[in-house]
């Protein structure tokens, strides 16, 4: 039973036609899979779509349709959500000390995926910096843009 942790870059691909969308949709269609999102991805997702709307990549109606589709899929249980704990934030400190180039969201996603490592999950992301750190942290990386 495959377990996938999707960061925001991968989640956006579910709802926006771009490089890697097909791979994300294929992973989410697998029978018996578990798709995990960090709760921070919700706000990042809304913000990323707002940017696409501001830049004219999405109409306002399309933006609202995408939000509705995401929320409907989440309500139907497509995604399992995991929230950072105080332990997560301690782990982000160590990740940032070890890798000072990490941004806030990168460190949070990696720390959450690290906490769930016993599930033998794969981290799905198009963020190359995060993907490079996965293997040393015991996490299998999947870049949907490598399809």
Q: What local confidence, expressed as pLDDT, does residue 55 receive? A: 95
Residues of the chain with pLDDT under 70: 147
Q: What local confidence, expressed as pLDDT, does residue 22 receive? A: 97
**pLDDT tens, 33-44?**
999 999 999 999
Neighbours of 31 (CB within 10 A): 6
- Domains by residue range for the chain, with CATH: 3-146 (3.40.50.1010)
Q: What local confidence, expressed as pLDDT, does residue 147 receive? A: 66
């Amino acid at each position: 039973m495959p377990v996938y942790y999707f960061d925001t870059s991968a989640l956006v691909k579910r709802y926006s036609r771009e490089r890697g969308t097909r791979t994300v949709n294929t992973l989410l269609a697998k029978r018996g899979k578990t798709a995990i999102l960090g709760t921070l991805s919700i706000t990042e997702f809304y913000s990323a779509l707002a940017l696409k709307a501001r830049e004219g990549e999405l109409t306002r109606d399309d933006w609202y349709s995408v939000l509705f589709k995401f929320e409907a899929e989440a309500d139907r249980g497509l995604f399992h959500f995991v929230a950072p704990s105080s332990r997560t934030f301690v782990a982000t400190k160590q990740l940032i000390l070890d890798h000072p180039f990490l941004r806030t969201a990168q460190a949070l996603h990696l720390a959450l995926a690290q906490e769930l490592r016993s599930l033998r999950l794969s981290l799905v992301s198009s963020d190359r910096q995060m993907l490079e750190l996965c293997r040393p942290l015991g996490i299998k990386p999947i870049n949907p843009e490598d399809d």
